[in-house]
Amino acid sequence: MTMRRAVKWLKFVVLTVVVLLPALALAGPRSGGSFSGRTGFRSGGGMSSPSRSYSGGGNHYGGGSHFFFLPGWGWGGGMGYGGSSLLGTLFVLAAVGVGAAMVMRAVRRSRSAGHGGGMAGLWGSPDDDEAAVVQGRAYLYKLQLALGRSARGVQDRLSDFASSGDTTSEAGLASLLQQSSLELLRNKDSIRYAAAEARGPMSLTNAETAMNGVSLGERSRFQVERVRVAEGRAVRSDAPAEEGKEALEMVVVTLVAATRTPLERFKPVASIDELSALLAELGGIAPTGLLGLEVIWTPADANDSMTETDVMTTYPELRSL
């Protein structure tokens, strides 16, 4: 290709982009809505798992797990400095070795959990190891769905959830997630496209930062946010609604949840049955396990438009079910 032809081709590409950009900017939905909360992050990750205490009953060791050894006194006073002194010393040395091994094991668990967990897991089981790792960690899940025209009523119901729901408490966010998941389950036969993404484990700070980034990215896909409810405050846009140029064929709903424990069923979905199981698991998250929630939908205006082509262009990550 000669330099002259290359210049002509570059001019053509630039002209094409300049002409198409305004059209692309006007394509897709203009309106959207959302509600969210981050209560679990403010409270330090929700309710922490109770740590074991060894200060109760007759085995009182003070505030933690300490080992007291009295060399030469044996175990209970029956072994003195006579013929049993050697045996008593061996017992003491064995106990010291066992205690040191247990201390090192607890320290390794604390380091792997990313925080100073003390000696709470000293006598723990494998299940306790898993619980210790969860403390101070977060998991981020994003589920995005495109529903057909038969589910157009989901827009109004999500707007109602935003208006009446409580976004200032973990219990309120869990209730909103349950209501949203149930609404989508009721309209599962209308779901045409889906995408599921999971991240974690990560620190609480990184999880909140990532969640905010996902939220901003999704909300930037439409021009007018008709309703935004966050942290108990509602903001509504009075911008005039514009009638879409095309038909309202699709509605896109995005759920973003940050949790303290991983979700076993959350994985890429290829069928309605897998999606139903995933939605049921999301809706069943307990308040103490939920760190934050974001629910976003578009379009929000009744006369706005979104075609299947718009969905494929604006949401290329969605896959057909």
Summarised one tens digit per residue, pLDDT across range 139-152 is 999 999 999 988 88
The reported pLDDT for the residue numbered 43 is 60
More reliable by pLDDT, 69 or 208 = 208
The reported pLDDT for the residue numbered 7 is 46
Q: Answer yes or no: is pLDDT of 29 > 90.
A: no
Mean pLDDT lowest among 100-109, 165-174, 243-252: 100-109
φ, ψ dihedrals at 34, nearest 5°: -165, 160
The reported pLDDT for the residue numbered 149 is 86
Summary mean pLDDT of the chain: 74
pLDDT band at 112 (very low <50, low <70, confident <90, very high): very low
The reported pLDDT for the residue numbered 238 is 86
Element (H, E) at 235: strand 233-236
The three-point CA angle 93-95-100 to 5° equals 95
Residue closest to 193 by CA, chosen among 143, 153, 157, 152: 143
Chain segment 223-250, per-residue pLDDT in tens: 999 999 998 899 999 888 777 677 779 9
More reliable by pLDDT, 55 or 316 = 316
Q: Provide the token pair at 91.
A: 């017992």
The CA distances from residue 125 to 50, 129, 130, 208, 224, in Å, are 15, 7, 9, 31, 53
The CA distances from residue 30 to 285, 307, 313, in Å, are 32, 12, 14
The three-point CA angle 14-15-18 to 5° equals 85
Element (H, E) at 144: strand 137-147
d(Cα 316, Cα 67) in Å, to the nearest integer?
61
Assess contact for 321 and 189: CB atoms under 8 A. Answer: no
Residue closest to 204 by CA, chosen among 48, 47, 44, 49: 44
The reported pLDDT for the residue numbered 271 is 94
* H helix runs in 119-255, sequence order: 126-134, 154-164, 170-186, 204-219
d(Cα 236, Cα 31) in Å, to the nearest integer?
12
Percent of the chain with pLDDT over 90: 51
Domains of the chain, by residue range, sit at 28-45+136-320, 85-132
DSSP string across 248-288? B--EEEEEEEEESS--TT-S---SHHHHHHHHHHHHT--GG
The reported pLDDT for the residue numbered 50 is 34
Q: For residues 182-193, give the mean pLDDT.
A: 96
Amino acid at 287: P
Q: For residues 110-132, give the mean pLDDT.
A: 40
Q: Answer yes or no: is pLDDT of 67 > 70.
A: no
d(Cα 243, Cα 218) in Å, to the nearest integer?
22
The reported pLDDT for the residue numbered 241 is 74
The reported pLDDT for the residue numbered 191 is 97
Q: Answer yes or no: is pLDDT of 70 > 50.
A: no
Highest mean pLDDT among 64-68, 230-234, 275-279: 275-279
The reported pLDDT for the residue numbered 240 is 82
Whole-model pTM?
Answer: 0.66
CA torsion angle 300 302 308 311 (round to 10):
-10
